């Protein structure tokens, strides 16, 4: 194979299979490098540790990015690299001189796609078929144009060309992992995406596509074009307030439709736009604070429905920082505490609601539940401690009985020993 007329690859041992690494794949190799005069300057084999890098990202010399992309697992090849595809005029002192042509023997052991999850749990794996152009990527709220094909095992279940707003994919039956992937793509990029169930259709599957629960999916996706949404710093205050009002209504629609995750995304936008806005005054301040307060309260409500109770508590705390006596903030925080069995904290919240708003029947009912559960918990603890004391008393009694028995046995043993010593003395004494 010719490397753009500036190097060449000679295969010494064929690899297996048909797949080859793609752009962004993590590849694992062993290599040895020589100058043209046969001087060895580096070898991973000497270190007994495979070398890994992300293909096509400029982490290695150009010749490697080009040549390794043509290899199969198990393949061993010789790569001759002209200076412009190696270290060029600068070289790599002290071992590699200026304008050096290099020879490498490379063996490919493994390659795997790029993990796009924050936790690096393998839930979203991307492999890039064709690199996109530029460095810009779609952000939350961007309008994207995509062509996609979805596969479950070997069956294509989805094939569409779509234009939609990032954050609205669930309305179009797109899994969350696919939207996360699109936000990491460049214009024109073509990629293959592998999704674990938690980033696909999860525990429920997708009846429309005949996808069972806990299914792993594959998508082939082409990001044709996109228009980024304005970032917070690109908007003036009037734009932020105007967009916040629009987004709040959109979030409410999602909530009423039971699309809580999408509603969360909308309310979070308002928080990000207004939370650190410092140029507020007078009537504008009141309007912005009202939007922030509503967003935190609505986020708490969504998190409760999603059973994300710590997040619900955090949103209530944020709302109560703005209005310490807010009825909904106190009540929803009480619900979040109750859901995780923090009965005393829940009781305190419901009591404060009733103190400030005596007619709140829901808080009175929840307070009664808290108090009953606290009584049940105290009863269980009392019974637990009673049983514990009974066991301790029983063990103490047994221990005392054992000591008494041991004392009696010891007395008997000492008596026998004394008798034995007396007999022994009569045998060694001289005859009278």
Strand 76-81, strand 217-227: pairing:
unpaired
* Residue 416 a catalytic site member: no
Choosing from 31, 201, 267, 343, the catalytic residue is: 31
Choosing from 23, 25, 61, 65, the catalytic residue is: 61
Choosing from 23, 66, 85, 104, the catalytic residue is: 104
Nearest to 74 by CA among 2, 9, 11: 11
Token pair, residue 2, equals 């010719």
Q: Is the N-terminal amide bond of 112 cis, ω within 30° of 0? A: no
* Residue 42 a catalytic site member: yes
* Residue 128 a catalytic site member: no
Choosing from 85, 87, 201, 254, the catalytic residue is: 87
Angstrom distances, CA of residue 167 to CA of 122, 183, 205, 222, 301: 22, 10, 20, 18, 19
Burial class (CB in 10 A: 0-12, 13-18, 19+), 180: buried
The Cα–Cα gap between 341 and 339 comes to 6
Distance of CA 291 to the CA centre of its chain: 30
Choosing from 42, 54, 173, 342, the catalytic residue is: 42
Instruction: Please name the helix (run of DSSP H) or strand (run of DSSP E) that holds residue 387, with its range, or none.
Output: helix 361-428
* Residue 87 a catalytic site member: yes
Strand 26-35, strand 51-54: pairing:
antiparallel
Nearest to 126 by CA among 210, 183, 68, 170: 183
Choosing from 28, 41, 53, 309, the catalytic residue is: 41
Give catalytic residue positions. Answer: 31, 41-42, 61, 87, 104
């Amino acid at each position: 194979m010719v490397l753009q007329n500036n190097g060449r690859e000679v295969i010494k041992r064929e690899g297996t299979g048909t797949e080859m690494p793609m752009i962004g794949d993590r590849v694992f190799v062993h290599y040895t490098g020589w100058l043209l005069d046969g001087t060895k300057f580096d070898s991973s084999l000497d270190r007994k540790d495979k070398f890994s890098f992300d293909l096509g990202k400029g982490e290695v010399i150009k010749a490697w990015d080009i040549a390794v992309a043509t290899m199969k697992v198990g393949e061993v090849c010789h790569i001759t690299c002209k200076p412009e595809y190696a270290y060029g005029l600068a070289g790599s002192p002290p071992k590699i001189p200026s304008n050096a042509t290099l020879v490498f023997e490379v063996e490919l052991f493994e390659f795997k796609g790029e993990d796009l999850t924050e936790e690096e749990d393998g839930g979203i794996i991307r492999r890039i078929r064709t690199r996109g152009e530029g460095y810009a990527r779609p952000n939350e709220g961007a309008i994207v144009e995509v062509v996609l094909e979805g596969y479950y095992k070997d069956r294509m279940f989805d094939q569409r060309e779509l234009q939609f707003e990032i954050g609205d994919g669930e309305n179009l039956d797109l899994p969350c992992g696919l939207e996360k992937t699109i936000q990491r793509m460049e214009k024109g990029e073509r990629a293959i995406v592998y999704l674990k169930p938690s980033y696909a259709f999860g525990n429920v599957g997708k009846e429309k596509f005949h996808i069972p629960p806990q299914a792993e999916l594959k998508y082939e996706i082409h990001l044709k074009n996109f228009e980024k949404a304005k970032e917070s710093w690109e908007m003036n205050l009037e734009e932020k307030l105007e967009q916040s009002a629009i987004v709040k209504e959109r979030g409410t629609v999602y909530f009423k439709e039971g699309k809580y995750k999408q509603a969360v995304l909308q309310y979070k936008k308002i928080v990000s736009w207004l939370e650190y806005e410092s140029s507020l005054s007078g009537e504008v301040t009141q309007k912005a604070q009202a939007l922030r307060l509503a967003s935190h309260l609505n986020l708490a409500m969504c998190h409760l429905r999603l059973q994300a109770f710590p997040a619900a508590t955090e949103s209530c705390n944020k709302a109560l920082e703005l209005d310490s006596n807010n009825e909904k903030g106190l009540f929803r925080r009480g619900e979040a505490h109750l859901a995780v069995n923090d009965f005393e904290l829940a009781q305190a919240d419901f009591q404060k609601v009733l103190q400030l708003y005596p007619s709140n029947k829901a808080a009175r009912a929840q307070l009664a539940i808290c108090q009953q559960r606290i009584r049940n918990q105290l009863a269980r603890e009392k019974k637990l401690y009673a049983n514990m004391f009974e066991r301790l008393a029983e063990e103490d009694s047994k221990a005392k009985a054992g000591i008494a028995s041991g004392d009696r046995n010891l007395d008997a043993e000492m008596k026998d020993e004394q008798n034995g010593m007396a007999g022994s003395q009569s045998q060694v004494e001289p005859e009278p």
